[in-house]
């Protein structure tokens, strides 16, 4: 349970420190001052519009930080490394350096979670937020303008209408449970060799969803995550689609 006697700043700053301790090789979180400043502005936008738009479920600002922002950042090192590897593997490497920027999509972005926290921590990566609901897309457009994130674009569109074959990694956190229909649409958006990364809670429920599409994956991995100040199970489900999808 989040101690509401502490301030949101406390949870954000200490949470970033804790994530750096958990993943000492994680380069994206080393610029913690810049990251914390942008995340605080992002938090202010969520607080301003949450009641009207129903962006997130949380009992106050501290829970927004822990259950949504820190939760989104928990696998940033994993997602960043996978996206870079896939981008380099597309033939975009010269002298050990990618010619193109890794491309990540956040499908069903809603309030911009996990896409906006990830984009703040990974400024050298290209992010696309895909959101079909007009009010939430309006919130995202305004928030991107406030934060000034040049590496993020918004597509207000149905998933089925999004252009295919573009992304090294697709992340999704608060969309409907994984099934064959959703899997098909997500795979359609991936570039060759792309990876799906699903934010999940309980291990058993994640494995239950995986069983519906496991025969369509070349490999998969369920990675336990630790979210600072959150005493709940969190996992990242990594799926590489098989070539016959």
Pair of tokens at residue 187: 């795979």
Tokens (6 digits) for 9: 């700043």
Give the integer Cα–Cα distance in Å for 3 and 11.
Answer: 9
Structure confidence by residue, pLDDT tens digits, 39-60:
999 999 999 999 888 899 988 9
Q: What is the pTM of this model?
A: 0.93
Structural domain contains residue 130: yes
136: CATH: 3.40.50.150
Work out the pLDDT band at 95, boundaries 50, 70, 90.
very low
How far apart are alpha carbons 75 and 40 in whole angstroms? 20
**Backbone torsions φ then ψ of 130, nearest 5 degrees:** -110, 115
**Burial (CB count within 10 angstroms: exposed 0-12, middle 13-18, buried 19+), residue 62:** buried
Considering the domain boundaries, does residue 64 fall inside one? no
pLDDT at 39: 97
The runs of H, that is alpha helices, within the chain are 8-22, 32-53, 61-64, 71-73, 76-89, 115-121, 134-147, 180-189, 203-210
Residue 32 lies in a domain: no
The Cα 17–Cα 87 span in angstroms is 29
Number of structural domains the chain divides into? 1
Question: What pLDDT, on a 0 to 100 scale, did the predictor assign at position 99?
Answer: 47
Q: Does 20 map to a domain?
A: no
The reply to whether 1 falls in a domain is: no
Six-digit token string for 153: 């674009």
204 within a domain of the structure (yes/no): yes
Alpha-carbon span 37 to 42, nearest angstrom: 9
Euclidean distance between CA atoms 81 and 165, whole angstroms: 20
Asked, for residue 26, whether it belongs to a domain, the answer is no
Residues of the domain holding 97: 74-241
In a domain, residue 159? The reply is yes
Tell me what the mean pLDDT of segment 80-92 comes to. 80
């Amino acid at each position: 349970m989040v101690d509401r006697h502490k301030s949101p700043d406390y949870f954000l700053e200490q949470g970033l420190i804790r994530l750096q301790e958990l993943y000492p090789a994680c380069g994206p979180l080393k610029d913690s001052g810049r990251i914390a400043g942008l995340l605080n502005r992002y938090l202010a936008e969520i607080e301003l519009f949450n009641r009207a738009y129903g962006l997130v479920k949380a009992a106050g600002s501290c829970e927004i930080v822990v259950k949504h922002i820190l939760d989104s950042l928990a696998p940033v090192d994993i997602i960043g490394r996978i996206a870079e590897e896939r981008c380099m593997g597309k033939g975009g490497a010269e002298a050990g350096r990618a010619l193109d920027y890794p491309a990540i999509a956040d499908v069903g972005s809603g309030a911009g979670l996990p896409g906006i926290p990830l984009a703040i921590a990974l400024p050298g990566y290209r992010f696309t937020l895909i959101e079909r609901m007009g009010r939430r897309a309006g919130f995202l457009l305004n928030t991107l303008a406030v934060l000034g994130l040049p590496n993020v674009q918004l597509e207000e569109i149905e998933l089925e209408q999004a252009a295919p074959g573009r992304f090294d990694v697709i992340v999704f956190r608060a969309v409907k449970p994984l099934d064959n229909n959703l899997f098909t649409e997500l795979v359609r958006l991936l570039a060759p060799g792309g990876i799906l990364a699903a934010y999940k809670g309980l291990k058993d429920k994640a494995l239950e969803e995986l069983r519906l599409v496991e025969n369509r994956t070349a490999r998969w991995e369920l990675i336990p995550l630790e979210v600072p100040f959150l005493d709940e199970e969190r996992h990242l489900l990594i799926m590489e689609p098989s070539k016959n999808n």
